[in-house]
Structure 1
Amino acid sequence: MTDQNSLWGPVTRVLDRACTYYSDRTALIAGDRSLTYTELRSVTNRIANGLLALGITPGERVGLLMPNILEFVPTQYGIWKSGAVPVQMAAKASAEDHRYFLTESGATTLIYHASFDATVAALADQVPTLRRLIRLGEQPGDSAADYYEIFGTQDDSTPPVDIGPGDPAQIMFTSGSTGTPKGVLFTHDRLSHYLLTAGLEIGDTRPGEVFAHGAPLTHFTQIFLLPTFLRGGANVIMPGLDVDTLLDTIVRHRATATAVVPTVIYLMLTHPKLAAADLSSLGTVIYAGSPMAPEKLRTAIEALGPVFIQTYAGTEPGFISCLRKQDHMLDDPAALARLGSAGRPLFHVDVSIQDEQDRHLPVGETGEICARQLGRMSGYLDSGKDTEALRDGWVHSGDIGYLDADGYLFLVDRKKDLVVTGGFNVFPRQVEDVLTQHAAVAQCAVIGIPHPKWGEAVHAVVVPKPGHTVTAEQLIALVKAHKGSVWAPKTLDFVDTLPLNASGKVDKKALRAPYWAGHARQVN
């Protein structure tokens, strides 16, 4: 039974009210297609009623495997309205990952796009709980029901489902950047809090916002869908996040906001279209995935103006902190130093820096970043793993950092990315910050590789900027000058690109793999 007194009710409640308040406005745009708010509510209701007609029951897990297309949003909300639980499946993940997501979550149904036909054919028989396949595509599938045959003719009235705030709402999977992805469960009240408070506070969402979504909707850009609906704005769904498409979309739709990873900002700054593109409508650029090096951020502010907001989050703890537009200042030495921070904790989030014994550390001391808020996970699918991250109400992020006297949170590194060389701790992020100061460095990643004398040695992988020249010796000397010989890479490779995981983060596990082949573990 729904708790009518609960402030944080079903995730769909805000969307339904937005569809009433802004009925004739455009809610979704993808290419030359669009939906008004009235049409969006109608489609979501049809999808929910179609799932109910198939026998979907409350709490049942439904996999959603789609690229960034118009149907993604109403399908997700339709699953919620049916009382089922969407299982987020990263579009860029492998077939083996998708099999794992479905198996780990116990999904009974998979709604997928025809572009994943080969993937689904390879995994369908390997997921014992999977009973229904629903395919969206122009040509009918061999063994799957047709998306529009199932949903297109359904009644568009409100589905007769009672959803409580504590009912399961969503299953997400961690990126697996330090191990096997873990299934994370959110209830409706926690997910509503997560989407609305973080989305509004971080996004600075304004009435009539036009938000351009190019990053995969299965990742952090999704949190800005609902706040944009709340403000009666339009969400523009882009097929991908290449800079050409992003610039064209901002110009064509007069987009006012977008969310990207720092890599995209770096590429935008050197893109030949940038100078001619009219980006005057763009008031907010949110970046996440990793902090930007202070020197790169300075260049971005000078090129695009005071539009940047940084957010720091994890799947389990939710969104933790925010470096707001007013924090991105270049004329104040104290503020300039804070460009390397992750900002201050969000108003509804408590942050604690803790040591290995879960003791709270004072200001300025480095330890594990822990967070406490309503918008965190309810727990892992495997509840036996809860104690790995959730202890005494605090979610342990696995990230290393510290708080300064003014409450700014500084990330030092991922706990598991720490390089221990000759008994000294080296945090790769700090080495990467030095390397990216060099004019010839576009991107870089620092990892630990086996060394017969020191156990581990610091190794850098660098993507050079086109038209620039630098030697490994020069970059190693740069780090040595800034950080000392212990921190300086002992070896350095130049590459064309860095591998990314499904979340768009640098896949350090993949970078380490060739060096640690034959070793029982990836640390010494």
Structure 2
Amino acid sequence: MRLWNLTYEPLDRACRYYRKKVAIIDGDRQLTYSELGEFTNRVANGLIALGVRPGEVIGMLMPNCLEFIPTQHGLWKAGAVMVQMPARASAGDQIHFLNSADATTLIYHAEFDDVVEQLRKQCPAVRRYIRLAPTATPSADIDYAAAFDAQSAQAPRVPVRPEDLASIAFTSGSTGAPKAVRNSHESTVHMHIPAGSEIGDVRAGEVFALGAPLTHFAQIFVLPTFLKGGTVVMLHGLDVDLIFDAVERYRVTATALVPTVLYMMLAHPRRNSVDLSSLRTIVYAGSPMAPDRLREAVTAFGQVFSQTYAGTEPTFMTCLTKEDHDISNPATAHRLGSAGRAMSHVTLSVQDEQDNILASGEIGEICSRQAGQMVGYVDSTRDHETIRDGWVHTGDIGYIDDDGYVFIVDRKKDMVVTGGFNVFPRQIEDVLLQHPAVAQCAVIGVPDEKWGEAVKAIVVQAATQSATADELIALVKEHKGSVWAPKTVKFVDSLPLTTTGKIDKKNLKAPYWADQDRLVH
């Protein structure tokens, strides 16, 4: 049988090509490519020695750290399937992830000891707990170092086919319960290498700082960076000072962030004093950026931005390139409001409610078709809800213009129906973010006896500015009309976020719809 695996073979190749170069930096720790390859093989052999069989499901509850990548690729070499477990998720969500995926093993970092104690009681199928601790501390669980350090550094001979399952990921759950999504090794490599290379504009010797969690979109830049002989710098969290320090210390050339962090960078007192001259690529994803804020970011940091539009089921679909972020060209300035164009390996369409493909400029549901898309849900009875005739239906409403740029109007489930009119919250949010006093905002629909749903804006004010509710309502009315104007505005200190950094609208809506028979979307 041919021993070939689309997911880990590129890593093996990079480890052969760039043996002595530094592959991973984590604070004062680092791995060369040669060490990375051997570490990965020891993890694979250690899992096999523990009795893990091909097809078994392993949860990984780990922060961005040096061990993450060799653990991930090691379990793939052992033929196992990885469950992606966002570090910021609640214990309840982690229980849902493990149980939905039928995981038999959990590899976790000691910083999650308290969470894992809750998991033990409610995850009966998990029979192995492997604990990674920075220092030796007493534990009844299998010690990570003891399990892997003494294993053979030779690659195990486990045949893994391209169509075999590689991972189980979960939707963000921002509008409903997270759904378990299956990805094969073939779909995973198409997701990581073509998409990561194109979005990240990865070049030889890249120094890519990963601040966004590796359980989120940041992971797609790992293999492209390795294949170019670059270095991955692990950042523990999304602290702006940490990002600035890393860029200066390691001469970071690229990073990937969520818009929330970019807003924090723009407001940070060190913004004008930190040396960011080495940084030539900033990828942002996870949620859209208002065009006015994007112009501000380009003015502050330069034309270094790249955007991608993605979802758990369709994976990465578009790229708004650095060239598209040219704010000096009035003829193309409107493109800042887009999500970019379909990447080279992706086909996009906009479809109506009968799944008919619409003409350019017509508004409907955005659909995607590519080799990197999900295989299906763990609950296969739900596949037809999302995959029809090969198209993955994203649940996003938008249109594609004559030049191929994708404009997202809003999430289908976020749409507010008020007085019989369809209102899209994102368009209201873009207007509100034009006001200098609005640092962040979210628009939702709340129950209303007269209108069915009423538009409500929830606003975080900037530290040095303020605005009244009437002022913000008038701003929206001026730009969009009275139907779109919020009926009420609530000022808050912060907005809840999902584990992927998106504003958690399900959480925001919950108090208003708790006593209703149904949640109107």
Common fold by TM > 0.5 = yes
Give the drift of 1:240: 0.5
Identity %: 61
**TM, length-normalised to structure 2:** 0.98
Deviations 1:185-221 (A, max 9, x none): 1111111111001001111000000001111110001
1: CA distance, partners of 2:519 / 2:446: 8
Judge which range, 140-149 or 478-487, deviates more.
140-149
Other structure's SS at 2:191 match: helix
- Report the residue type matching 1:258 in the other structure: T
Which residue, out of 99, 105, 130, partners 1:109?
Answer: 105
- Three-state SS of the structure 1 residue aligned to 2:11 is helix
By how many angstroms is 1:141 displaced? 4.7
1:53: Cα distance to partner?
A: 0.4
The DSSP-based 3-state class of the residue aligned with 1:456 is strand
Post-superposition shift, 1:239? Answer: 0.4
Contact between 2:58 and 2:105, CA under 8 Å: does it hold in 1?
yes
Counterpart of 1:13 in structure 2 is 9
Matched, 1:70 2:70: no
Q: Alpha-carbon deviation of 1:501?
A: 0.8
The residue identity in structure 2 corresponding to 1:398 is G
Contact 1:354 1:361 in 2 (8 A): yes
Q: Letter of the 2:381 partner, please give it.
A: G
Contact 2:3/2:159 (8 A) holds in 1: no
The C-alpha deviation readout for 1:442-492, integer Å capped at 9, x for no partner, is 110000000010000000001111111211100000000000000000000
5 Å-filtered alignment, 1:18-167, equals: 18-137=14-133, 138-167=135-164
Alignment map for 1:226-241 (pairs within 5 Å)? 226-241=223-238
Match of 1:373 in 2: 370
| Alpha-carbon distance in structure 2 between the residues aligned to 1:112 and 1:169 | 19
Do 1:208 and 1:231's aligned partners in 2 also have CA atoms closer than 8 Å?
Answer: yes
CA distance in 2, matches of 1:323, 1:303: 19
CA contact (8 A) 1:342 1:408 kept: yes
1:331 CA displacement: 2.2
Shift in Å at residue 275 of structure 1? 1.0
Distance 1:125 1:494 in 2: 39
Between stretches 125-134 and 489-498, larger displacement belongs to 125-134
Distance of 1:190 and 1:470 partners within structure 2: 48
Partner residue, 2:422:
425
Aligned residue pairs, count: 520
1:116 Cα shift?
1.0
Give the CA deviation at 1:3. Answer: 7.8
CA contact under 8 A between 1:417 and 1:447: conserved in structure 2? Answer: yes
Instruction: Give the structure 2 partner of residue 514 of structure 1.
Output: 511
Say yes or no: does 1:415 pair with 2:377: no
Contact 1:3–1:165, Cα closer than 8 Å, also in 2: no
Structure 1 runs not aligned, ≥5 long: none
C-alpha contact 1:516 1:522 (8 A) present in aligned 2: yes
Q: Distance in 2 between matches of 1:143 and 1:3?
A: 36
The match for 1:287 is: 284
Cα RMSD for the two superposed structures:
1.0
Change in Cα spacing, 1:54 to 1:367, as seen in structure 2 (3 Å) is same
Amino acid at match of 2:178: P
* 2:432/2:476 contact within 8 Å kept: yes
**Which amino acid in the other structure matches residue 503 of structure 2?**
V
Give, in whole Å, the separation in 1 of the partners of 2:112 and 2:36. Answer: 25
* Structure 1 counterpart of 2:165: 168
- Cross-structure match for 1:364: 361
Structure 2 unpaired stretches of 5+: none
Of 478, 494, 500, the residue aligned with 1:481 is: 478
Name 1:262's counterpart in structure 2.
259
**How many Å apart are 1:248 and its aligned residue?**
0.7
Deviation (angstroms), 1:242: 1.2
Residues 3 and 157, structure 2, Cα contact 8 Å, conserved in 1: no
When structure 1 is superposed on structure 2, of 141-150 and 167-176 the one drifting more is 141-150
What is the Cα deviation at residue 269 of structure 1? 1.1
Q: Which residue of 2 aligns with 1:382?
A: 379
User: In 2, Cα distance between the equivalents of 1:334 and 1:190?
Assistant: 37
Provide the secondary structure at the position in 2 that maps to 1:412.
Answer: strand
| AA partner of residue 103 (structure 2) | A
